[in-house]
Amino acid sequence: MIPTPDLSHLTSQDFDRIYEPAEDTFLLLDCLEEDASQLQDLQPRVCLEIGSGSGCVTTLLAKIIGAHNAIYFTTDINPYACKATRETAVRNAIHTIEPVRTSLTEALLPRLAGQVDVLCFNPPYAVTPPEEVGSVGIEAAWAGGIDGRQVIDAMLPYVEKLLSPKGVFYLLLINENKPTEVAEILRANYGLQAEIVMQRRAGREKQFILKVQKSS
Ligand SMILES: C[S@@+](CC[C@H](N)C(=O)[O-])C[C@H]1O[C@@H](n2cnc3c(N)ncnc32)[C@H](O)[C@@H]1O
**Domain harbouring 44, CATH code:** 3.40.50.150
Give domain status of residue 77, yes or no: yes
* Rounded alpha-carbon distances, angstroms, from residue 105 to 10, 73, 132, 151: 26, 10, 21, 12
Q: Is residue 203 part of a domain?
A: yes
Residue 198 · residue 30 · CB < 8 Å: yes
Instruction: Report the number of secondary-structure helices (H) and strands (E) in the chain.
Output: 7, 7
Span from the CA of 182 to the centroid of ligand 1 (angstroms): 18
User: Within a domain: residue 7?
Assistant: no
User: Is 3 part of any domain?
Assistant: no
Helix (H, G, I), strand (E, B) or coil at 117: strand
Residue 22's nearest CA partner among 53, 63, 1 is 53
Which domain, by its residues, includes 64?
23-214
pLDDT, one tens digit per residue, over 131-160 is 999 999 999 999 999 999 999 999 999 999
Regarding pTM above 0.85, the answer is: yes
Q: Which residues pair with 196 in a beta bridge?
A: 210
Q: Is 44 in the pocket of ligand 1 (CB under 6 A)?
A: no
Q: Does the CB atom of residue 51 touch ligand 1 within 6 A?
A: yes
From its phi and psi, is residue 104 left (phi > 0), alpha (psi between -120 and 50) or beta?
left
Distance 121 CA to ligand 1 centre (A): 8
Domain for residue 85, yes or no? Answer: yes
Give the N- to C-terminal CA distance of the chain in Å, as an integer. Answer: 31
Is residue 77 in contact with ligand 1, taking CB distance under 6 Å?
Answer: yes
Domain assignment of residue 5, yes or no: no
One-letter amino acid at 18 equals: I
Q: Is residue 21 scored above 90 in pLDDT?
A: yes
Q: Are the C-beta atoms of 100 and 83 separated by less than 8 Å?
A: no
CB 129 within 8 A of CB 145: yes
Number of independent structural domains in the chain: 1
Could you read off the pLDDT of 76-106 as tens digits, one per residue?
999 999 999 999 999 999 999 999 999 999 9
